[in-house]
Amino acid sequence: MYREVFDFLQHWQVRKNRKPLIITGARQVGKTYLVEQFANNFETFIKINFEEHPEYKALFKTNDVKTILENLGLEFETKIIPQNTLLFLDEIQACPEAILTLRYFYEKIPELNVIAAGSLLDHVLNELNFSMPVGRVEFMYMYPMNFREFLLANGENMLVDFLSSYLPEKEISIIIHNKLLKLLRKYFFVGGMPEAVKTYMETTDLLEVERVHESILTSIEIDFSKYTKNSQSDYLRTVLRYVPRGIGKKVKYVNIDSSVKSIYLKEAFRKLEMSRIVLSIPATSSSNVPLQQFLKNDVFKPLFFDIGLVSHLLKVRMINLENIMLANEGELAEQFIGQQLLTMPPFFIDKMLFYWIREKRDANAEIDYLLEMGNNVIPVEVKAGKTGALKSLLVFMSDKQKEYAIRFNADLPSITDVKASVKMAESIREVNFKLFSFPLYFVNFIDRIITEDD
C-alpha cells in the first residue's frame, strides 16, 4: 500500500547531507513495512529488531561502528558496502546503546544508510542517561494512513487524481460527491491502521475489521507494562477509553474519573502522548505564528491517533454504509480533520495542533483548529452536516482581522466573500473575509487551493 512518506525516504536517500534517520510513530502505523519496501532500493538490507532478537544488543556495547558493521557482516554472511547497504534498527528503544551509536555512524561512516524506528521511542529518549546525538540524526514522523492513502489503497486512483487537480471554479456532481461521502464513512469506521485497511481490502468484512481493531487495542494495553508501573496501568486504560468520548471537549479530569486524583490522570495523558496514541490540543489566544506563544496552561482537548479505533471504542457499528450520518458524527468529524492535518507534509516536523477559545461574557467563542500555512494562521471550523452557525468564526475574524477561514462540512465546495455584523460588548463590528468551504473529504488536498488563491 502506497504511503506518502515513501517519497520522503526516496529524497532522504539521495541527499548529500543526510544523517541517520529515526522514524517515530505509534505502534502498528506501518513503520516496519515502509522500511522493508524501501529496502528494495538497496543491494544489501540488514534488519535488526531488538525486541525480537535481544541478543543483538551485545553488538552495540561498543561505539566502534566499524567493528559493529564488520560483526554484522559476519553474522548475516554478507559483504557490506556502506553506500549500497540499508541498516534498519527496528524497535531501537529496546537498545538505548544503539541510539548512541547513530552519532558515530554519521561521523565515521556517513555513506551508510541507517534507519531506526520505534513505537515507544519517546519514553526512552526522555529517560536517557547519556546525551541524545543532537545534530547527528534526523527524524521522520509517521501516522496511520490518511484518507488520500485510503482511497489509493481501495483502487480509487481516478478520484484522487480528480481531487488533486480540482479548481474552485469546477463543479463536483452530486453523484461523485455522494460517492466520496460514502467512502469517507467507510474510512470513519475502518480508519488508517494498515492492518485494518488491508483486512477490509481483502475481505470487505466489517466484522473482521473490528477483530483487527480489538487486537490493536489489546496490544497497546499490553505495552503499558513497558513504560509504567502495574499500579498505574489502570489510569492509562481509563484515559485511553475516555479520549474517544472527549474529542472536541475541553478536558476536565473530574469528568474522566472523579475517584482518581487529577495528578495521576495528568501523568497518564503524558504517557499516552509519549506513546503517540493520544494528542493534547492546547488552547491558545494567539492568532499569529508561532501559536505556542500564548498557550492557555492546562486547557486542552484530546485527539486519538486513529479514527477507526475511535469508532471501535465508541461501539459504532457500520452495518449499513449507506447511512452517512451517525450519533457521534460531530466527534468523528473533528477527529477526522485533526488526524488528517497531522499527516500533512513536511514529515520531518513533529506537528502540534491548536484551537482558539474566547471565554468572555459578551461573546464566548471557540475555533476547532488553527492551521499554520507558511507565515499565516487560518482558522478551521468543522461541521459534520451541511449547515451550521458561524457565530464563533465571526467573533474570531472580527477580533483577529484575518483574511481567510476554512470550513469543512458535508456540503459541496464553495468560496464565499463573507460580509457580516458581529455584536461585541456594546458595539457592532463589521467583518469581511473569504470563507473556503470544503467537503470533509477534501482536507488532504486543500493546501494547493489555498496557496494558489493566495
Q: What CATH number does the domain containing 90 carry?
A: 3.40.50.300
pLDDT tens readout for residues 303-353: 999 999 999 999 987 654 444 445 678 899 999 999 999 999 999 999 999
- Per the CB < 8 A criterion, the answer to whether 189 and 311 are in contact is yes
Q: Say yes or no: 48 and 122 in one domain.
A: yes
How many structural domains comprise the chain? 2
Q: Say yes or no: 134 and 164 in one domain.
A: no
**Which H helix or E strand runs over 297?**
strand 295-304
Which candidate, 160, 311, 164, 151, places its Cα nearest to that of 247?
311
Domain that holds residue 382: 149-453
Given 84, 110, 141, which residue is the final one in a domain? 141
Q: Say yes or no: 417 and 396 in one domain.
A: yes
Q: Say yes or no: 327 and 425 in one domain.
A: yes
Q: Which residues of the chain have pLDDT under 50?
A: 320-325
Q: Say yes or no: 366 and 402 in one domain.
A: yes
pLDDT at 321: 46
CA distance 73 to 111: 16
- Per the CB < 8 A criterion, the answer to whether 149 and 163 are in contact is no
CA distance 321 to 157: 21
pLDDT tens readout for residues 112-151: 999 999 988 888 877 766 566 778 999 999 999 999 999 9
What is the residue type of 331? Answer: E
Residue 121, all three cell numbers: 521511542
Given 141, 158, 187, which residue is the final one in a domain? 141
Given 141, 169, 199, which residue is the final one in a domain? 141
Q: Say yes or no: 111 and 220 in one domain.
A: no
Q: Say yes or no: 39 and 163 in one domain.
A: no
pLDDT at 124: 81
pLDDT at 385: 84
DSSP β-bridge partners for residue 116: 22, 89
Q: Say yes or no: 83 and 136 in one domain.
A: yes
pLDDT at 219: 95
pLDDT at 303: 98
- Per the CB < 8 A criterion, the answer to whether 314 and 260 are in contact is no
Sheet holding 278-284, edge to edge: 295-304, 278-284, 354-358, 365-373, 376-382, 404-409, 427-439, 414-424
Q: Say yes or no: 106 and 171 in one domain.
A: no
pLDDT at 390: 85
Q: In degrees to the nearest 10, what's the CA dihedral of 288, 292, 297, 301?
A: 80
**Which H helix or E strand runs over 242?**
helix 230-246
Q: Say yes or no: 288 and 356 in one domain.
A: yes
Which candidate, 208, 234, 382, places its Cα nearest to that of 312?
208
372: left (phi over 0), alpha (psi -120 to 50) or beta: beta
Which candidate, 249, 40, 185, 166, places its Cα nearest to that of 445?
166
Q: Say yes or no: 305 and 373 in one domain.
A: yes
Tell me whether residue 433 is exposed, middle or buried, using C-beta atoms within 10 angstroms of its C-beta: 0 to 12, 13 to 18, 19 or more. Answer: buried
CA distance 313 to 92: 30
- What are phi and psi for residue 326, nearest 5 degrees? -130, 170
CA distance 304 to 240: 9
Which candidate, 441, 380, 391, 432, places its Cα nearest to that of 411?
441
Which candidate, 71, 78, 141, places its Cα nearest to that of 101?
71
77: left (phi over 0), alpha (psi -120 to 50) or beta: left
Q: Say yes or no: 168 and 106 in one domain.
A: no
